[in-house]
Amino acid sequence: MARPTRELRRPTVTMSHIGAGDFGILIASVLLFVALIPNWWASGQSFNAVKYSVVYFVIVLVLILVTIGLILYPLMESEAGIRALPFATPPLFLSIGFLLLLITTFELGRYDGVGSAFRAGFGLWLAEICCVVYLIAGLVKWGSRERRLLT
């Protein structure tokens, strides 16, 4: 007589839902968070995003958290039993990337050129590069989305 065995529960969180665009967006988001910490201006004083522009810091932090939530949500759909998002995420990622690039470019040009003492530092240039990478990764995600066939 066979012993009854219980079925092993396999984890349903698969990394196959995350594509190249998602990885690019996640890497750009993490590096953008890191870019908020170092000096923004090479003027001999210590100015980072928190000290220099609190509004920028809060906006970028909220957008990074929204990005991480939107990327990790599809991974948790089957495990948590929640419904799929009712909208497509690539246009939202492109909008977030454009907004990040716009406000970072504004911060880059805010005092640049006013005096010779102010020059953009490492943190501000890293933030600008991360925003461009975020936007490019959003375009990659847009290009790799599933398309519906019209029949």
Percent of the chain beyond pLDDT 70? Answer: 71
76 occurs within a structural domain = yes
Provide the residue range defining the domain that includes 78: 25-143
User: Does residue 46 have a pLDDT over 80?
Assistant: no
CA dist 10 and 143 (Å) reads 32
DSSP assignment letter at 82: P
13 occurs within a structural domain = no
148 occurs within a structural domain = no
Contact call for residues 40 and 123 (beta carbons, < 8 A): yes
The mean pLDDT of 138-146, rounded to a whole number, is 84
Number of domains in the chain: 1
- Report the range of poorest mean pLDDT among 41-45, 50-54, 75-79, 104-108: 41-45
| pTM across the whole model | 0.79
1 occurs within a structural domain = no
18 occurs within a structural domain = no
- pLDDT tier at 3, thresholds 50, 70, 90: low
61 occurs within a structural domain = yes
132 occurs within a structural domain = yes
